Amino acid sequence: MKSRFLILAVLVGFFFSSCRESVDPEQLKVYDGPINSSINAFIVHSDSAIVRTEIIAARSLEFQNGNQEFPEGIEIKFYTKEGLLESTMVADRGYFIKDENLYRGEGNVQIENLIKEQSLKTEEIFWNRAQKKIYTDKFVTIREKDTQFNGNGMEADDSFSNYRLKEVTGETQLPGEGL
């Protein structure tokens, strides 16, 4: 009797263990791709009912951790306290890192201050919303009226009204300007 019970227990145990499918560990990976996608994204940040920034992107991808990616480019418009368009930032690709409240633009990055007639070109830029600051450690070209400055690294307020080049590598007077 004991031997029958033992044989039956072994057969039942073998039956349940043999019915189990083998699972590929690759299939058990947690999905870390976008959880939301939007086309023609338009994001507005305001303060006291006055628009401070507008973010425009052809495509936006949002991830589980709150980060966002703008793979087809990003444009950010900065407004004065009076609501006037002061400056624009355009980049080939954009990213928002939620934990740091930080935007990053990369590729062909261009910033223009429309009021002061200043422009900047670089390949990567960061915008810290909390500190109201833009910065980069990459090579930059800044054009201000009749002068062009080149340098490595730059810090500015987010309106690009006041800036500081970290390492100036060149200054050029542009011909024909101001005549």
- pLDDT given for residue 19 in this prediction: 52
Which residues are bridge partners to 87 per DSSP?
A: 78, 113
- pLDDT given for residue 29 in this prediction: 78
Average pLDDT over residues 1-14: 66
Q: What is the DSSP string of 61-113?
A: EE-TTS-EEETT-EEEEEE-TTS-EEEEEEESEEEEEGGGTEEEEEEEEEEEE
- pLDDT given for residue 168 in this prediction: 86
Average pLDDT over residues 144-172: 89
Q: Phi and psi (nearest 5°) for 170?
A: -175, 150
Q: What is the pLDDT of residues 21-77, one digit of tens each?
A: 666 777 777 777 899 999 999 999 988 888 999 999 999 999 999 999 999 999 999
- pLDDT given for residue 32 in this prediction: 79
Q: Phi and psi (nearest 5°) for 12?
A: -65, -45
Grade residue 179 by pLDDT with cuts at 50, 70 and 90: very low
Which residues are bridge partners to 60 per DSSP?
A: 38
Q: What is the pLDDT of residues 102-153, one digit of tens each?
A: 999 999 999 999 999 999 999 999 999 999 999 999 999 999 888 899 999 9
- Domains, the chain, in order of start with CATH, read 32-173 (2.60.450.10)
- pLDDT given for residue 118 in this prediction: 94
The pTM assigned to this predicted structure is: 0.78
